[in-house]
Structure 1
Amino acid sequence: MDDELHARLKAYEGRPAAVAGVGRDPVNAPMIRHWCEATGDRNPAYTGPGAIAPPTMLQAWIMGGLSGHEGRAQAYDELLSLLDEAGCTSVVATDCEQEYLRPLRPGDEVAFDTVIESVSRRKTTKLGTGYFVTTRTDVRVGEALVGTHRFRILKYAPNRREQKAQDRQERPRRPRPVVNRDNAGFWEGVRRHRLLVQRCTACDTLRFPWLPGCNACGSAEWDTVEAGGEGTVFSYVVMHHPSFPAFSPPYAIGLIELAEGVRIISNVVDVPYDKVRIGMPVELEFRAYDDEDGELVLPVFRPRAGEVAA
């Protein structure tokens, strides 16, 4: 049965998921500026007359917004429907990969095509059993290929434990952070209730999130300093929709500027979402979630005593 289904799924490989898509806006300086401000990236290559766009913005130029893009191909919807019929009704994004061939510059108008690159055999995961579906998007300016974006999802049938939680309308566990060789030290610090910030040992520049090299001088040598925990709300959003398991909207997500000068994204807690304000002084708290299978510890921020807006 599985072989028969997989053969039907494999038939979709190479078929289009989006055809002749066009970016909603040309590459432009305001979006580059907003991106760099949000990420704290001060690389001079992204400003001035000869500026380029940060390579990691590749997907930003082709996003379709809530209404999506014209040109979505029927094959992708058919593939997802086939998986739904097989009981794989849940979906989670697992990872993405990007390749950059040349920098994008303000004024470039991007176009793209997306194909269904691969469908895995049936896999068993902690979430349940299902199939990994990978799409590949080729991004072009004119006839020139400038980058490739691969995006992978898991369409799966929830396992008994997850399904029982859904049936009982129990709150699922929060998503776990993706820990890799570049950020493992940060999460080990969080586990010990320490908020560690990288510091370049060549130029003393602090950086967050953790990166393998300094974005100021390029050095790969670094150590850490422990943040004191005080900061202010630099910006924030209130999540109403879409809703995610383990979270109860509406809730505030803040871009917190720490006293040390770097910024971190986290939840703003212990204050009504409509009382959060830009400039609000906040302080760090390490909060434990999900006591099943070991606690998840996360750094969150609460208003400093006496600072809640009236």
Structure 2
Amino acid sequence: MADPQLLSDARALVGRQYGRVYAWDEVNAPMVRQWCEIMGVDNPVYTDPAFALGTRHEGLIAPPAMLQVWTMEGLHANNYPPGSTDENPYEVLKIMEAHGYMSTVAVNSELTFSRPVRMGEKLYYTTRLDSVSDEKTTALGTGFFVTLVMSHFAEKAGGDEPVGELLFRVFKFRPANANAQAPARLDAAPARPKRPLPGISDDTRFFWEGCEKGQLLIQRCAACQTLRHPPAPVCIECHSFDWDTLQASGRATLYSFVVMHYPEVPPFDYPNPIGLIELEEGVRLIAGLVGIERENLQIGQRLQVEFQTFDDQQTLPLFRPVDA
């Protein structure tokens, strides 16, 4: 049963409105064009001024799905434009962590749009803690669903106009496989949580068993020899259900990467570099990067797999840069 003080402290924040976070730049055609190229969007209302002028929009608009892009901080964490709030809209999660709910998983994210965003508009958003659920027990563990709403606006001389909302929901929980322990002393540091275990099915069991043996196994169609990852029950090429595995060499290149900064989810270390890895055999997988600082990461650099065991229960393939 949830601590009454936890519920009181958390729900006291429900409805709290956090200050503005501004966009670095006005809505502009170069960013829209680059986004459309990357995402494979070819609607001329976003990129062709002459075509857009003849539509009901009477000019270029930005793709609705770009709404969140305009107010992102950029490469460096929490690097927002002058005038943006320094309040932490995730403070309710810190309260839960203090009571032993250390793990976080994103549940869903929903974008809604009030009107199109036009070239030259300057955007900002505010955050509201929308709700904290009753304590729930799921397959992951016991915890709370926390919902925040980021309301986006365009600045206008006659009054700012709403342009859309982002609903973001997370589940803050104690893992179901955590060992039961005696209540911690109030002055004791919270125990470091274990890494959440992956969901394992008949389609993926071979991969994790291979990791335990120090083998990077890739699923292969027995009929046409097509490699596939993530594992799946049927071949994406010939639709055969028959498959075996190939042990990959572990040699790879860095196809792309992100560096996670916030929210900090125990027990992971931050900044946390995650790579999209292209194996020598031609398939890609997502894995952690080790042995290199963020500023030294380069697309295309050579990598080699290494296996590390965490919490004496989970072995993961990680990738370390190797000399050219």
TM-score, normalising length: structure 2:
0.54
The match for 2:208 is: 191
Q: Which has a greater percent of helix?
A: 1
Q: Decide whether aligned partners of structure 1 residues 222 and 248 sit closer, same or farther in structure 2, where only a CA change above 3 A counts.
A: same
Q: Identity of counterpart residues, as a percentage? A: 30
Q: Deviations over 1:188-209 (max 9, x none)?
A: 56325434599xxxxxxx9988
Of residues 115, 125, 128, the one that matches 1:115 is 128
> How far apart are the structure 2 equivalents of 1:97 and 1:241?
16
2:287 aligned with 1:289, yes or no? no
Q: Which amino acid aligns with 2:84?
A: E
CA RMSD of aligned residues (A): 5.7
Range moving further from structure 2, 102-111 or 114-123: 102-111
- 1:43 matched to 2:43? The reply is no
Letter in 2 for 1:254: G
2:84 alignment partner, one of 67, 70, 84: 70
- How does 1:99-178 map onto structure 2 within 5 Å? 99-101=111-113, 107-123=120-136, 131-141=144-154, 143-152=161-170, 154=172, 160=181, 172-177=193-198
Q: CA deviation at 1:29?
A: 6.5
Give the Cα–Cα distance (whole angstroms) in 1 for the partners of residues 84 and 102 of structure 2: 23
CA distance in 2, matches of 1:277, 1:191: 28
Q: What amino acid does structure 2 have at the position aligned with 1:70?
A: S
Change over 3 Å in CA distance of 1:259–1:140 after alignment to 2: farther
Give the greater-gyration-radius structure (CA).
2
Q: Note if 1:26 corresponds to 2:37.
A: no
**Aligned counterparts, 1:135-284, within 5 A:** 135-141=148-154, 143-152=161-170, 154=172, 160=181, 172-177=193-198, 187-188=204-205, 190-191=207-208, 193=210, 194-195=217-218, 230-235=251-256, 245-246=266-267, 253-259=274-280, 263-269=284-290, 278-284=299-305
Q: Which amino acid is 1:154 matched to?
A: K
Cα distance between partner residues in 1 of 2:18 and 2:119: 25
User: Any conservation in 1 of the 2:101–2:143 contact (CA below 8 Å)?
Assistant: no
The aligned counterpart of 2:157 is none
| 1:290 to partner: Cα distance | 3.1
| Structure 1 unaligned regions, length at least 5 | 199-205, 212-218
Q: In 2, Cα distance between the equivalents of 1:94 and 1:244?
A: 9
State TM-score, norm by structure 1: 0.56
Structure 2 letter corresponding to 1:266 = A
- What are the superposed Cα offsets for residues 200-255 of structure 1, whole Å, 9 maximum, x if unpaired? xxxxxx998899xxxxxxx9x97899785543124557889998655567886434
AA matched with 1:98: E
SS at match of 2:195: coil
Whole-angstrom distance in 2 between the partners of 1:281 and 1:59 = 33
- Contact 2:257 2:274 (8 Å CA) reproduced: yes
| Gap change, CA 1:242 and 1:186, over 3 Å in 2 | same
Question: Does the C-alpha gap of structure 1 residues 268 and 190 become closer, same or farther in structure 2, counting only changes over 3 Å?
Answer: same
**Contact 1:162-1:172 within 8 A present in 2 as well:** no
2:323 maps to 308
Point out where structure 2 has 5 or more consecutive residues left out of the alignment: 49-60, 155-159, 211-216, 222-226
Tell me the CA shift for residue 118 of structure 1: 0.9
Q: 1:138 to 1:231 in 2, by over 3 A?
A: same
| Deviation string, structure 1 residues 252-293 (Cα, Å, up to 9, x no partner) | 643433457665442345x565986543333455x352364x
